[in-house]
């Protein structure tokens, strides 16, 4: 893209904008490569997105997405991670193991800061009992995070309590996403999948059954640790249902002081009452929640401050782009537009990308005292505003962007 646009140096922050990737670039491969288990071509595509050389990795005997990802991770410094695949295609992020370590360290720093904003306490040995309400192992972003919670937040296996100690298969995640997307389009009878993947449909159904955890079971685990320092995370609806069941049992202020409730991710399409947070506070005893805004591609989320703004960490450059032509707004005052980021900790892949989020950004000083750029709490997906459509306009020419995608997918079909 830089060659196409004649860019040979970066002299100011806005010079980065023309070479920002669209957030869809990490799933720009032909989806047929996964449907038909063509892992050699998929590795070739991934190799074009990473500084780590994958050209000598032999994946010819890989007979599953799980096996392919394990081969890549086992023979290189990559800790390859995929998205949830709910759109029918997985994004693959080629982040290194070292970059993941930095990601996890930044996450812990943010959590400790929410407990001690002034930095007056030594919280290096401040750990929590973690209730993990799903599988404890897997290759997607959420399951990679399980290891982070175990090591950095629980601090020991004894304080990490997973509902299911099994492994979530990436093939099952892909199958679920493809079937759901095909069903939504009315194309379930026309979907093409490798027979080896189709044969795993009973396994998919069993995984779905295991993933359905009764709320009562989660409440039982939480109450078994009553009075201990706990960390609870989950969707809005899940946390409300846990609190509702706990309050029904007459339980109040269950968590010890210094506990954390992590909220984020929205309602995920499930209705919650207006006072759901008050119910969670009453059940847990935690009065200030740990709220974050982020995405897989960035090595640290933005943390919500006392003034109800998400503060971008210093090593991530924030841009607000005009949603119609992709040009950056001035880095001053208040602007509403499309969020874009350049992550300076990304060293083995390009950390600049354009998101699908509409945000309002304050470049003015924050009442909380933090000096970094801040995003107002109301964040919305452009696809939600535009009836499912979200065509991203880039500051780069459309031809340069299309040529970049052609380069990534050339000779892969």
Distances (CA, A) of 107 to 76, 79, 235, 301, 407: 24, 17, 18, 7, 35
| Tens-digit pLDDT profile for residues 105-154 | 888 888 888 888 888 999 999 999 998 888 889 999 888 888 889 999 99
pLDDT at 158: 95
pLDDT band at 270 (very low <50, low <70, confident <90, very high): low
Structure tokens at 83: 């998205």
**φ, ψ of residue 96 in degrees (nearest 5):** -80, 165
| 346, 333 Cβ separation under 8 angstroms | no
Residue 334, strand partner residues: 362
Q: Cα 210–211–217 angle (5° rounding)? A: 85
22: helix, coil or strand? Answer: strand
351-376 burial string, b = 16+ CB within 10 Å, else e? bbbbbbbbbbbbbeebeeebebbbbe
Q: What percent of the chain has pLDDT over 70?
A: 94
Distance CA(131)–CA(125), nearest Å, equals 19
| Token code pair at residue 8 | 């040979």
- Distance CA(339)–CA(13), nearest Å, equals 15
Residues 63 and 292: their CA atoms lie apart, in Å, by: 37
pLDDT tens-digit map of 194-251: 788 778 778 777 777 777 778 999 999 999 999 999 998 878 888 999 999 999 999 9
338 vs 321: CA distance, rounded Å = 5
Question: pLDDT digits over 139-192, tens only?
Answer: 998 888 888 899 999 999 999 999 888 888 998 888 888 887 778 888 777 777
Lookup result for tokens 């079971």: 217
- Domain-by-domain residue ranges, the chain? 26-95+170-210, 99-169+211-293
**What is the average pLDDT across 376-405?**
70
Residue range 99-169+211-293, CATH number? 3.40.50
199: number of Cβ within 10 Å: 10
């Amino acid at each position: 893209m830089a060659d196409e646009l004649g860019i040979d140096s970066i002299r100011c922050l806005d010079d980065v904008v023309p070479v920002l990737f669209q957030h869809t670039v990490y799933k720009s491969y032909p989806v047929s490569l996964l449907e038909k288990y063509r892992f050699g071509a998929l590795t070739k595509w991934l190799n074009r997105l990473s500084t780590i050389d994958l050209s000598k990795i032999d994946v010819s005997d890989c007979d599953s997405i799980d096996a392919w990802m394990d081969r890549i991770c086992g023979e290189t410094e990559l800790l390859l991670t995929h998205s949830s695949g709910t759109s029918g295609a997985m994004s693959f992020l080629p982040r290194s193991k070292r970059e993941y370590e930095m990601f996890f360290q930044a996450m812990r720093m943010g959590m400790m800061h929410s407990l001690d904003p002034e930095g007056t306490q030594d919280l290096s040995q401040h750990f929590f009992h973690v209730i993990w309400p799903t599988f404890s192992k897997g290759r997607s972003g959420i399951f990679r995070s399980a290891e982070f919670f175990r090591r950095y937040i629980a601090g020991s296996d004894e304080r990490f309590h997973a509902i299911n100690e099994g492994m979530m298969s990436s093939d099952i995640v892909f199958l679920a996403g493809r079937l759901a997307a095909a069903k939504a389009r009315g194309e379930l009878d026309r979907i093409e999948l490798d027979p080896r993947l189709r044969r795993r449909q009973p396994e998919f159904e069993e995984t779905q059954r295991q993933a359905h955890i009764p709320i009562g079971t989660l409440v039982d685990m939480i109450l078994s640790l009553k009075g201990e320092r706990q960390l609870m995370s989950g969707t809005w609806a899940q946390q409300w249902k846990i609190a509702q069941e706990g309050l029904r049992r007459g339980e109040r202020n269950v968590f010890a002081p210094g506990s954390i409730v992590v909220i984020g991710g929205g309602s995920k399409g499930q209705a919650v009452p207006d006072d759901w947070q008050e119910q969670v506070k009453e059940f847990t005893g935690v009065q200030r929640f740990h709220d974050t805004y982020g995405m897989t591609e960035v090595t640290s989320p933005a943390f919500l401050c006392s003034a109800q703004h998400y503060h971008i960490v210093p090593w991530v450059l924030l841009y607000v782009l005009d949603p119609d032509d992709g040009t950056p707004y001035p880095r001053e005052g208040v602007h509403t537009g499309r969020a874009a980021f350049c992550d300076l900790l990304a060293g083995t892949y390009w950390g600049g990308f354009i998101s699908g989020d509409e945000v309002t950004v304050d470049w003015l000083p924050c009442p909380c005292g933090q000096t970094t750029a801040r995003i107002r709490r109301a964040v919305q997906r452009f696809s939600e505003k535009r009836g499912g459509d979200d065509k991203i306009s880039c500051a780069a020419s459309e031809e340069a962007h299309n040529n970049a995608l052609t380069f990534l997918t050339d000779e892969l079909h």
